[in-house]
Structure 1
């Protein structure tokens, strides 16, 4: 979306509803962008239900009436009527064969505009759920999951691979019909456009349904028919592993200039460099990239963490982890995390300090404590600490569920693992 288009949409909104809060204008602008509005002529195709995720019914009707008055002129009406004329000759000379090929070609691509005519299967939803929706009550997580399952089944009948845009359109229809029951609300305030959580649930369900048909990578080959034993080595018992979001999970070939011997030499060199505090970081990065093939082979063979720590010590520090993650997923770990922290982290902290602070006395004390700590230090790492602590407090979780505190002088090998939670835990000094 260019600056010109953004200005055009904001101007169109402000002309009709000048007193609308800036946050609501942002949400409405995002909604119009997602609908594909690019010119004033596009406004005539918008319906009231398209705007109910951002506006109240009266506001929606008001802007629609104003926009349609502005774009509906005799010229636009005539141009829309005469658009894409069908030559009569084509109709006269069309044969049964051509109509069959036409219908068959259209049936090959059923997902082009299916979402525009998709009807929410209200009649298939459980009676209990419909009672909650009609009475403007929030459905329980169980009822919501059941609703998502039914929706995805219906969506995948229309299209075998619904996109995020498709899920967004379906979520908008749900929220427009029952905003009180389904809109994203925290402490009485609508979060974002109000339908993101539904979109995510739909996408997760679609991914789960598709998982059984998604190609997977085998960790071992099938046994041959002439195998003379039924015994399978322990390292070969795991048959299939999902690749999830990885783009380079199972590397098939060594780099052209590499051999097994050269890989071993580089591996030993990395071990030696890990013992030196002044190791050349660029060289470490290069060696980690070149030995990625061997690293993945050992991981996919099911080697345990202790063995991998001994064989690939750089994996367990920031540089080596970042290099391996980039090769594995194609995503820069630190850069992506920092970028999201800048955008979403600041927004979250601002919410906690302005709106969330009114939740209860305990949370207010947590926010005040974090502010005192921030006066002593201010950095990206401080943002992360504050977010984690405030998220735990906001959802009434205990700190020891995520953190295990030790003395400042405690070394990694001195941590008493019997006292550490079995769930993922951060050991903090």
Structure 2
């Protein structure tokens, strides 16, 4: 009788994982052939096996599966041995500067063999999937654990990109059950960002006590790299056209030429000079601005980007609410004025209600703001302003990263002369407090660019403020990126993949220190907030 040695048993186990369809007699034939004919003595030797060694015993597809898996097994064993050596190496002296070293896994070819363990889906999750319903939280977490356990049989520490590929496959089979969607049914980004993040979080959790599987790249310390992040952008990139459907038209309107469009631009300048900002209400202005849209985009999208003051000289109607918001609608397909006006009496109320009904749950800053809101007299704009301020406090973003409070008697000239306005856009609030402000201005590049008519409400001011980021190709400032993305995805309902904040450096919300910023498809804080808001309303509504 033939008795298996320890390494032979391991080889048998590995082959069973790769080809579970093999019966025991066939499995023994394969193992015996590898060990006593080919000469395999341990699992690392499997990487040396060639296709011709098994082609007389197994089918071609089975041979190819084994070849790919054998390479991954050898790599895994090599990683384990290398990591153990690192673990037991004496620590360097803190006074000596050591060169940074890191281990980067090879291409994840195990993904081509990985099978999602659908048979481990809990009954409640199967029921939700069959009915095209959202996955219940408990069963979803249970399935995540099963998927990660299956992944780790191939790769003990899959990367975020690997988790994304697995998440994409799950999402493609059951999009309505596992996907990221707004309450209106619109897909958030690529649709599976939360699932990807959950898989990666679970991997980090199971590897928390295993040094061998937690090798990470060192933090960047090269000052030259940090200085590179602060260089002013001189080229166009994907962020500029983020979320736009008509960023740069390529064909002229019917019957138009460059010369005819220039004549119409000159006509618009004459109308502005004779009628002033109020002339933007004329129907002829709307018509000419629509016809010259391609010329406006050509200037705005030119490289290097033009100064805001130069755009104002060429296209002054873009610095009126009507002209700017009409341009935004052509650019993105969203009527932002109507959209935010509806939100003021809908979604903004829901946000405020979410915080007020759970007062004790929040930190001291949010609770203090809730008390201030309670003590502030009711007004048309109070709810909308409160909703934005509460989310900023929740995301630990400072109010001055979006808003600047000035005296209610301030003028455009006094604001520019008395304040040092930042380069990135700000909504200037005129009043005794942010909550009681009733007049607004918008500043860009240190200058007041838009003065909102006094008869308009806060939603109109927010429309202008948010539109400038898209119309003038301005990236979100990192210090307020979460709040701006919430406005974009939840209120304005622009939900592309990626983000409009491309900053590589940020500020830690906990320590205040400078940190390297991760670029993600959807801001995780925004995604979590929207999930919890939906869950809260579902629980309290039943």
TM-score by length of 2: 0.39
Structure number with the bigger relative contact order (C-alpha 8 A, sep ≥ 6) is 2
TM-score by length of 1: 0.48
